[in-house]
Structure 1
Amino acid sequence: MKKIITLLTALFSVVLVLSFSHKVLADDDTPVVTLGTSLTDSQKDGTLKTLTAPLNGGNYQTITVTGSDLVKYLNPSGDNFTTSSGVWSSAMIQKTSSGSGINVKILDYNGKNNITTITANQYKNAALTAGITDANIYVTSAIPIDGSGALAGVYAAYAKNGNALNQKQVNAAQDEMNTLSGITQDNKNKKGYSDAQLNNAVAGAKNEMAKQGQNISDSQIRDIVNNQININHLGNTINNNQKNQIVNLLIEIRDSGALKNGDFKGQAAKLSSQIENGAKNIFNKFNTPENRNWLQQLWDSIVGFFSHLFGGIILG
């Protein structure tokens, strides 16, 4: 009888452990909504309604992002927030299946996009650099604001679920948002330029860097940047100063340890594919003969000439 009781007790203990473990995993996968501490009650309600709409009534957790969070996550990269700084931009992060990549959508608040500076693709690249993988991220703001602090809430949400991010990567991610948004602002309305091209070039560069590994040199990174700028037809718009900014940014990303993450390469490749699919009207033009660079046309002509020449000799 004692043996039976002991066995039942052991089985009951196992069931309790498994149930607790399942609960923890379920909590980890529950979407987290971050609310800026400066929001009024009405704005909080509106922000929650906006951010949770994609969940269709599903469960979620909420955390409040304060000036202290801005100081913790953003000041190391050069910002000057204080513990009393206001926070309005808010976000929701939802874990997705492995290999799905990082998806970002900026949601209108009461019919208006109040994120005035940072683009969805810039958020995607920054999230990748910070070490975030396979997630849906939604961003909104109740008032017009640049949106640079929105990812601070995502970083805090990660920490809440026991997945604290590497601060060096977070610093690089914030520098990346500042750099890419600055370049886009400088080239705004310039013919032959789009934010999608720039972010695709950066995502492509990250993918190429990851293939070569952590020991990639500065000169190799510069070669990769030059190649990606040409591939994305930005040679006539990106100036040398902007090119150097991109090179220095990617060197910082390498030095942050981001390339050590085994998922980095796959996530970067997925991001590039997403950017291209989201801007087919731009990237499809690059695949036409009229828009291929003259070096490629010259190379095709040479190859075609010799193929015809030697083909004729063989046939004769």
Structure 2
Amino acid sequence: MGKPTFVYGGGLSDAQIKETAELLDIEDMDNVNSLPVTGEDLEFYLNDGDTQTSEMISSVLVQKQNAGKGVEVIIENPEQITQITSDQYTNASITAGVADAKIVIASISRVTGESALTGIYKAFDKNGEKLDQDRMEVAQEELETTNEIAQENAESEGFDSSKLDQAIIEIKQALADLKEKQGELATREDVERIINEALSKFDLENMVTQEQFDKLLSLFEKYQKTSAIDSTEVKEQLLNLSSSVQDKVSDLISQAEESGFFDRIGNFFKEIWQAISSVFN
């Protein structure tokens, strides 16, 4: 399997690199391949030249796994990665072409986490696995779009990012199934229908604004034009991720049902008390 690859933020000092390594449970730097991720890397992998190396803080530890293991992303200190979730990273990584890898992410200070994908891409590149440029760029757009929707709906009652994650997975799967069945890409109307069906399935249709929907539409029109749409590997990785996310969605539904049940019990006793009180008033 080879050594894990430690890609640290280029904006870190030597002391901060050591601190980050400790967060990632790296006891001996000789046991990992280590290299920095810079603003130049962000431009190289994602055509994004707006970020300076000094701003690159989040770091990743990437270990290739046996075939069939899927992609596992662990955020070591989620209180410092303020926006992106592990499932969002996983979903986007699969889009980019990452497969069968354990990825641990950490940051010594608070960051949104959007640039961590670059470190993942660089780790694969330096280990001789070239990822497709178009897919990397679409993956970054996916991460930014889903994060934006999640952040803008964070206070909305009934919203949970796990539902959005599962909707994104199902949209990808439906587009791939349609391509396989028809032998051609989905029309714009097909993509709109598939997105609407996925959002409706997870009760998100009234939470996603028209502007957010348009961004999803633009994203998935680009997604289906990449090699991800025909990839058996992507299908397998998405199935692994879907199983994990579905467990979280099921837990959410169970919690909501239990909450409603206990609310009804509370209302029942409240009505009894009010009836008793009225007798004596």
TM-score, with structure 2 as normaliser: 0.83
Which residue of 183, 194, 203 maps to 1:233?
Answer: 203
Task: Count residues with an aligned counterpart.
Answer: 255
Give me the whole-angstrom Cα distance separating, in 2, the residues matched to 1:113 and 1:73: 27
Q: What letter is aligned with 2:218?
A: N
Query: SS at 2:232's partner residue?
Result: coil
| Equivalence for 1:42 | 15
Give me the whole-angstrom Cα distance separating, in 2, the residues matched to 1:85 and 1:255: 34
Which residue of 235, 241, 244 maps to 1:271?
Answer: 241
Give me the whole-angstrom Cα distance separating, in 2, the residues matched to 1:200 and 1:56: 38
TM-score, with structure 1 as normaliser: 0.74
Structure 1 286/271 Cα, relative in aligned 2: closer, same or farther at 3 Å?
A: farther
1:96 pairs with 2:58: no
| Equivalence for 2:36 | 64
1:160 pairs with 2:95: no
Q: Residues 63 and 103 of structure 2 are in contact (CA less than 8 Å); yes or no, is this contact kept in structure 1?
A: yes
Give me the whole-angstrom Cα distance separating, in 1, the residues matched to 2:146 and 2:157: 18
For 1:86-108, what per-residue CA distance to the aligned partner results, in whole angstroms no more than 9, with x for missing partners? 31110111222322222111112
Deviation of residue 182 (structure 1)? 0.6
| Equivalence for 1:220 | 190
Deviation of residue 62 (structure 1)? 1.3
Give me the whole-angstrom Cα distance separating, in 2, the residues matched to 1:202 and 1:212: 16
1:149 pairs with 2:115: yes
For 1:140-164, what per-residue CA distance to the aligned partner results, in whole angstroms no more than 9, with x for missing partners? 1111111111111110111111111
| Equivalence for 1:243 | 213
Structure 1 96/197 Cα, relative in aligned 2: closer, same or farther at 3 Å?
A: same
Give me the whole-angstrom Cα distance separating, in 2, the residues matched to 1:87 and 1:137: 18
Give me the whole-angstrom Cα distance separating, in 2, the residues matched to 1:264 and 1:212: 15
Give me the whole-angstrom Cα distance separating, in 2, the residues matched to 1:178 and 1:129: 13
Deviation of residue 58 (structure 1)? 10
Structure 2: 5+ residue runs without aligned partners? 261-281
Structure 1: 5+ residue runs without aligned partners? 1-25, 291-316
For 1:56-111, what per-residue CA distance to the aligned partner results, in whole angstroms no more than 9, with x for missing partners? 9994221211221122123x2x55235x5531110111222322222111112xxx
Query: SS at 1:263's partner residue?
Result: helix
| Equivalence for 2:103 | 137
1:87 pairs with 2:62: no
Which residue of 165, 177, 184 maps to 1:199?
Answer: 165
Which residue of 98, 104, 107 maps to 2:76?
Answer: 107
| Equivalence for 2:271 | none
Q: Residues 193 and 234 of structure 1 are in contact (CA less than 8 Å); yes or no, is this contact kept in structure 2?
A: yes
For 1:103-143, what per-residue CA distance to the aligned partner results, in whole angstroms no more than 9, with x for missing partners? 111112xxx72111212121111101101112111111111
Query: SS at 2:60's partner residue?
Result: strand
Query: SS at 2:204's partner residue?
Result: coil
1:260 pairs with 2:213: no
Matches within 5 A, 1:300-315: none
Give me the whole-angstrom Cα distance separating, in 2, the residues matched to 1:237 and 1:204: 18
1:169 pairs with 2:135: yes
Give me the whole-angstrom Cα distance separating, in 1, the residues matched to 2:100 and 2:248: 18
Percent identical across equivalent pairs? 29
Q: What letter is aligned with 1:101?
A: G
Give me the whole-angstrom Cα distance separating, in 2, the residues matched to 1:85 and 1:213: 43
Give me the whole-angstrom Cα distance separating, in 1, the residues matched to 2:6 and 2:234: 25
Give me the whole-angstrom Cα distance separating, in 1, the residues matched to 2:257 and 2:231: 32
Query: SS at 1:99's partner residue?
Result: coil
